[in-house]
Structure 1
């Protein structure tokens, strides 16, 4: 279980009934945005309204809050063979001897045999794998009020660039404490 108390970007959508939390990666080039439905059984409803979710608008409307985050540990790995997909998208020649990669190698005498895309996400008690950073935090002398963000039911998440280009979408349907 990852537990953090820190200032995070936060947003609640009353209409679609979910809360969004942004967890930035170390270099701030990427971020994980968690969409947690208000209802414990609300993931299907959230996914059915997916076309109404605008990540750019969510990010724009987020505000800084001091959040106590409790997020279960999870690890996702996926490998996809892209040969068929790239061929269907208009690049079938790259997998034949007729391929022209002269801009990559001098004689251009190569062609692709396969293309594999691998995705890996690991969230653990230290944070996300790419977000393991060392920080110094100061504790104010007065009590600080927290907003709790406790992930104890199914949710969806995005990994995106700082410009909100989505590079990975995932969903967790079983939370094991």
Structure 2
């Protein structure tokens, strides 16, 4: 009988409110180099390890989103594609034969265009850049392996997960299930700054390893909202129903784009530290059309088409979370073998047949007014303002919209989601 490799994906959290960030001292300010993609020529840029994996990671993000949408229907969606792809890429270090091929295909990696070594080099660089202590966004991402005393990991696998993914290997006694669950949950709670509590409910009796990936993100708007302008307003769930929300308001210049073909507005709100949030507002009744067109080419086109313009912006405060059975979603995406008795994870441990018995993912987002006013750190294209006519558009996010958090330093989609009901508390 195969032992079950219990694969656990956790993650969190986007938070744009909170205590003011501590001021960096002068020495830190001088050291702060945001590794902007604009620092390189395009040719140099394309050869950087993290840039090479970015297109595949984006493809995976939008494919995964569409499978989540099919499963949850007209509900809030929020997840971190980067967390999920990082965890499975790390696991792929121990996969062989068709199990490995399926993982690569599921993660949208084409080995005719990219060598396996380049995949892991890319994730290694992403982790280095995301965890740079000099960045203005509070951002940390990491991995851990909780390993039962009965399991002897192969030294090559241990070396690779440590080298490429900076993973901790933590010895744990899975025979004492309550204690092991407590240990894993405490680790997750600490790494996500208390946002994810008691994620792991049960441990499979045959579990010998739990793989955890976490991501924590706390960004400060370059242009914070004034909480004195926040007011109660209606958010429309559909043509007949609405809920009351706290609606934030700004009247400033932002990078925006009106996509007439897709019938939607795109507004870019920059964070300090080379990360941005793209808010996409489809015209009434056009959400499905926009969702169906979500591809890396679409989002790339939006970002290249952004122009700076004064707008009247209404955006609701919201705090939502999403929990997903990644195993079932991956199976629908054609990644089946790693979860079955045919799994070949022979590169993980000595003399032990392993499979993944469970893969779960949770993400939380919290958006509010607060931020700290300071000089802009994000590079943006500035174009001449047009004449004052027509008047600035009033873009009201008072119906379903999409949100994509992009880290420009690593070209990574950190989080993405759909806000259908900002007042919903579903998990």
TM over 0.5: yes
1:56-67 to structure 2, matched below 5 A, reads: 56-67=300-311
Instruction: Give the counterpart of 2:299 among 55, 65, 68.
Output: 55
Match of residue 82 from structure 1: 326
**For 2:267 and 2:356, how far apart are their aligned partners in 1?**
40
1:12-51 to structure 2, matched below 5 A, reads: 12-14=258-260, 16-29=262-275, 31-37=276-282, 42-44=283-285, 46-50=286-290, 51=292
Match of residue 416 from structure 2: 168
What is the CA-CA distance between 1:96 and the residue it aligns to?
4.2
CA contact (8 A) 2:311 2:395 kept: no
CA contact (8 A) 2:319 2:422 kept: no
Q: For the structure 1 residues 85 and 36, does the alpha-carbon distance in structure 2 shift closer, same or farther, using more than 3 Å as the test?
A: closer
TM-score (norm: length of structure 2): 0.30
**For 2:350 and 2:288, how far apart are their aligned partners in 1?**
51
Match of residue 218 from structure 2: none
Q: Secondary structure at the match of 1:136?
A: coil
| Structure 1 position 117 matched with structure 2 position 361 | yes
1 or 2, which has the higher helix percentage? 2
1:124-139 to structure 2, matched below 5 A, reads: 124-126=368-370, 133-136=371-374
1 or 2, which has the higher strand percentage? 1
Q: For the structure 1 residues 84 and 15, does the alpha-carbon distance in structure 2 shift closer, same or farther, using more than 3 Å as the test?
A: closer
**For 1:117 and 1:108, how far apart are their aligned partners in 2?**
29
Instruction: Give the counterpart of 1:107 among 322, 337, 350.
Output: 350
* TM-align CA RMSD: 3.7
Q: For the structure 1 residues 100 and 26, does the alpha-carbon distance in structure 2 shift closer, same or farther, using more than 3 Å as the test?
A: farther
Structure 2 unaligned residues grouped into runs of 5+: 1-246, 376-387
Q: Secondary structure at the match of 1:118?
A: strand
**For 2:345 and 2:351, how far apart are their aligned partners in 1?**
5
Q: For the structure 1 residues 70 and 118, does the alpha-carbon distance in structure 2 shift closer, same or farther, using more than 3 Å as the test?
A: same
